[in-house]
């Protein structure tokens, strides 16, 4: 385990189930079974449209947290667009590949994973977004949305969304430079990424809801990350809203 106030803060603010809580053994067995279906395959995403979409202020006015979704498929183009808006590349400046969202020191500690359920031409599963290639790396084949919802304190809408973005922090990318203060920057970075994705969703006619209430260890186990190095910090459920929002 890494040391220091930053890591202590991360560990001591975790949500955890009570030991031996109901269904603990069942959940553990399901997670063990997941390991049988791990894959590693790269999927190129359609090029994002950088010009069109709704004007910014209209989009901001219409953003609401949406927790009721239609059972309707999202195209791969739409997923690509949301991912690019969240954390896609916009400029090569010297050695830096700058992105849509700002990042302290241009160190980009936030990675994005996607749990897909209803995305055209993409089997339900777990994917890792690779901004430099505008591609997804498939990690797991199979619908994990129910397990994700369960790991997020049973918030049902996570299992009804077309896809859920999980933002993780790879702490060392920022803390090697800024030490424990880097933890502040990491959470600020994640806020920028999530807001970009939320606004992109509205601009495409979709709705989203940010989620920070989840059992850290369980979401990390679904992602297959080592929490001492990388941990889930924020989720965003995305899908077609059942109702229109705005004044």
Ligand X SMILES: Cc1cc2nc3c(=O)[nH]c(=O)nc-3n(C[C@H](O)[C@H](O)[C@H](O)COP(=O)(O)O)c2cc1C
| Site residues, ligand X (CB under 6 A) | 64-65, 67, 155, 209-213
Give 142 or 191: the residue with its C-beta nearer to ligand X.
191
Least Å distance, CB 68 to ligand X, is: 11
Nearer to ligand X, 103 or 149 (CB): 149
- Min dist. Cβ of residue 214 to ligand X (A): 7
Query: Could you tell me whether strands 38-44 and 89-93 are parallel, antiparallel, or unpaired per DSSP bridges?
Result: unpaired
On whether the CB atoms of residues 85 and 199 are closer than 8 A, the answer is yes
Round to whole Å and give the CA distance between 235 and 211.
Answer: 5
8 Å CB contact between 83 and 112: yes
Q: Closer to ligand X at the Cβ: 100 or 208?
A: 208
Shortest spacing between CB 208 and ligand X, in angstroms = 9
How far is it between the farthest Cα atoms of the chain? 54
Whether 38 and 210 have beta carbons less than 8 Å apart is answered as: no
Write down the least CB distance from residue 150 to ligand X, Å. Answer: 14
Contact 110, 167 (CB under 8 A): yes
- Beta-bridge mates of residue 89: 99
Cα 200 to its chain centre, rounded Å, is: 14
Closer residue to ligand X, CB minimum distance, 76 or 161: 161
Give the number of other Cβ atoms within 10 Å of residue 5's Cβ: 12
Nearer to ligand X, 70 or 75 (CB): 70
Which residue intervals of 13-70 are DSSP H helices?
24-34, 56-62
Task: Please report how close the Cβ of residue 222 comes to ligand X at its closest, in angstroms.
Answer: 16
């Amino acid at each position: 385990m890494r040391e220091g106030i930053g890591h202590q803060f991360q560990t001591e603010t975790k949500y955890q189930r009570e030991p031996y809580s109901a269904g603990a053994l069942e959940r553990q067995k399901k997670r063990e079974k997941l390991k049988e279906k791990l894959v590693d395959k790269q999927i190129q995403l359609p090029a994002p449209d950088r010009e069109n979409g709704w004007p910014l202020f209209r989009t901001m006015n219409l953003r609401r947290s949406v927790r009721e979704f239609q059972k309707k498929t999202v195209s791969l183009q739409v997923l690509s667009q949301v991912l690019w808006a969240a954390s896609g590349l916009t400029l090569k400046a010297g050695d830096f590949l700058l992105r849509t969202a700002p990042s302290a020191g241009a160190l980009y500690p936030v990675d994005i994973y996607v749990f897909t359920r209803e995305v055209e031409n993409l089997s339900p599963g777990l994917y890792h977004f690779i901004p430099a290639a505008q591609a997804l790396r498939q990690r797991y084949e199979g619908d994990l949305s129910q397990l994700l919802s369960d790991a997020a304190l049973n918030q049902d809408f996570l299992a009804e969304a077309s896809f859920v973005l999980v933002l993780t922090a790879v702490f060392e990318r920022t803390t090697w430079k800024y030490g424990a203060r880097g933890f502040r920057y990491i959470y600020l970075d994640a806020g920028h990424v999530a807001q970009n994705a939320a606004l992109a969703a509205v601009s495409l006619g979709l709705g989203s809801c940010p989620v920070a209430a989840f059992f850290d260890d369980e979401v990390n186990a679904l992602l297959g990350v080592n929490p001492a190095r990388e941990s889930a910090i924020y989720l965003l459920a995305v899908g077609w809203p059942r109702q229109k929002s705005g004044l």
